[in-house]
Amino acid sequence: MVGDRSSPPSGGEEELATPIEETTGSALSLAELGLTEAQREAAKSTPELEVGRVAEDRRIHFLLYTKGGDEVAECLPELLRDARKGLGVRPVVGDFVVFRRIGKQPLVVIEGVLPRKSQFVRKRAREGLDEQVVAANIDVVLVLTAMTEEFNARRLERYLSLSAEAGAVPVLVLTKPDLCVTPDEIIAEAGTLGRDVEVVSIDPREAESVEALEPWLVPGHTLALLGSSGVGKSTLINRLLGQSKQLEGEVRKDGKGRHTTTTRHLFVSPSKAMLIDTPGMRELGLWAAESGVRETFHDVDEIARGCRFLDCSHEHEPGCAVQASVAAGALDAGRVEGFRKLQAELGELKTQLARSRKRGRGGKKNRR
């Protein structure tokens, strides 16, 4: 929601907690930045403010891409206060924001966040009942996994569910094919993990191999890269950008890469597609992802409608259509178990939130 506050925050260059390095991003038009017509209309409510896109979140400060070049910004205190109270949102990487210039001050001031067309949300790790928006305004999520012992169908189903809930198109990207002895089997299994999910196998080190991603590298579109540490996200970012913007981790003796990305950043590729790299996430808890789970497990969900009981757990109840399909070989038992696990996680989250609201505390929302 766009704010209309105008009072500048306190502080100046001498108080910066994060150093402001020179930036080299070229000036982009709002269309090239991916601004939608709906967002453009929302910005008209504050014609005295300019529009930019958050390229990096530095906790206290933000790097913005604007049609006039890169800007370093801080948030209006009221905007952050409202976000803490659940009355608004805090800017995240990928957000379009409206900002004001204050005289000759080196920082511009973010006064509002334009409506998001999509957002990738997870349950905040180790911090109780709280959602965390990882990135906003995403068109495509590239879910990366290595074709090694790292490949885990249940984990990928979780990633796909969150991607579908975000309103983005998920693409499964299988890396390190040279370390796989049964690549065709892995590719075939990956193709069963979601409704019409696209699967591509690439070696991020090879330019010709990465060309398989060109259908999604559309000017003005935003792609987020998601996956565990060491699956090749930073290597792929560097390949797509044609330069070493991200550090790359060496591979350990067990074939697993080391964690190198520590922050989220929005890059602009030569094709003018936007790329958001994300740190490897050890925890990726679901948050209000019911529709995403149903979309990812569309086959299980459709069969479950034939169960005798509406609240069937698909374990031991009589008349369970899901268990009957597993027994007949029409459904994979592991996939059903993954569905049950995610459904149980969402059910427990609902129970916890209800208890918290009853105690008068409520789940915290929109901190990011």
Per-residue confidence (pLDDT) for residue 128, from 0 to 100: 61
* Alpha-carbon span 47 to 124, nearest angstrom: 35
Weakest-pLDDT range from 9-23, 130-144, 277-291, 316-330: 9-23
* Alpha-carbon span 336 to 302, nearest angstrom: 12
pLDDT reading at 149 higher than 50: yes
pLDDT reading at 13 higher than 60: no
- C-beta of residue 230 within 8 angstroms of C-beta of residue 249: yes
Question: In a 3-state reduction of DSSP, which class is residue 53?
Answer: strand
Q: What is the mean pLDDT of residues 192-215?
A: 92
Quick one: tokens of 306?
């034939």
H helices of 212-259, in order, are 233-241
Tell me, what amino acid is at 65?
Y
All structural domains of the chain: 13-113 (2.40.50.140), 119-277 (3.40.50.300), 297-348 (1.10.40.50)
The CA-based angle 204-205-211, given to 5 degrees, is: 55
Highest mean pLDDT: which range of 65-69, 161-165, 280-284: 65-69
* Alpha-carbon span 30 to 42, nearest angstrom: 14
Q: In terms of C-beta density within 10 A (0-12 exposed, 13-18 middle, 19 or more buried), how is residue 4 classed?
A: exposed
Sign of CA dihedral 100, 105, 106, 107: negative
DSSP, res 14: G
- Give, for 38, the enclosing helix (H) or strand (E): helix 37-43
- C-beta of residue 132 within 8 angstroms of C-beta of residue 121: yes
Tell me, what amino acid is at 89?
V
Question: pTM for the whole thing?
Answer: 0.79
Q: Phi first, then psi: what are they for 11, rounded to 5°?
A: 110, 160
